Every structure is written in structure tokens, then in C-alpha cells.
A = this chain, B = another copy of it.
Amino acid sequence: MDNKTAVTLLSSIAQDARFSIFRLLVQAGSSGLAAGNIGEKLSIPNSTLSFHLKELSHAGLITARQESRFVFYFANYEVMNGLLAYLTENCCAGQQACCPDLACSSHV
């Protein structure tokens, strides 16, 4: 993970619609959600939805899989975790205990 990748990933969820989409997919878990289903739940028009889904999948945060007539989308947990790890990794920068609670446990 480098800055460029991190910024791309962050940009992909730093937007209302896409943040909501990602959360929905996170909650849907391994069964995923069909594109139409997402658009319905969030009241997003087809073309707009498609645009955002492409942004997310292009960044690598979600994955698409054709299933029958539908295209199912899934949250990519590993990539998300990679991003979080990268962020938390530098959160203490040597000096301990700058992160009071939880987030920094990753690189203990």
C-alpha cells in the first residue's frame, strides 16, 4: 500500500452515495447484493448507480460477479482491512500511546 493507492481507496468511499453503497454491501456480507437491489434501497437512478459502482470496483473496494441475469456486488473486506491497517500503521509513528483506545492495536 502506498499513498496513491490509499488516496484512491479513500476517494472511493469519501462520497455520500458510495459510502452508503459500501456499507450496504458490508452488511450484506457474503451473499452480496444485485445492482438493482442497491439502487432500489438507496433510490439511486441506474446510470448514477452504475457510475458509483464502477468507481468502487475500480478502486478495488468491491467486486462484481454475474449471477443469472443479475450482477451481484460484494464488499472486498481484505482491501478495506489493508487500508485500515495502513492508516493505523502510521498512527503512532514510533512514540507509543498516542492512540488511546483501539485502532492502533493492529501493529502491536
Contacts and interface: CB of A to CB of B under 8 A. Distances in A.
A100 interface: yes
A28 B94 CA distance: 10
A88 B105 CA distance: 13
- This chain: copies in complex: 2
- Chain A facing B: main interface SS: helix
Chain A interface residue count: which class?
Answer: 35 or more
B100 A81 contact: yes
Interface of A: 3-4, 6-7, 10-11, 13-16, 19-20, 23, 26-30, 77-78, 80-81, 84-85, 87-88, 90-91, 93-95, 98-106
Given A29-B95, A84-B88, 9 more contacts: A3-B16, A3-B19, A14-B14, A23-B90, A27-B90, A29-B94, A77-B98, A81-B99, A81-B101
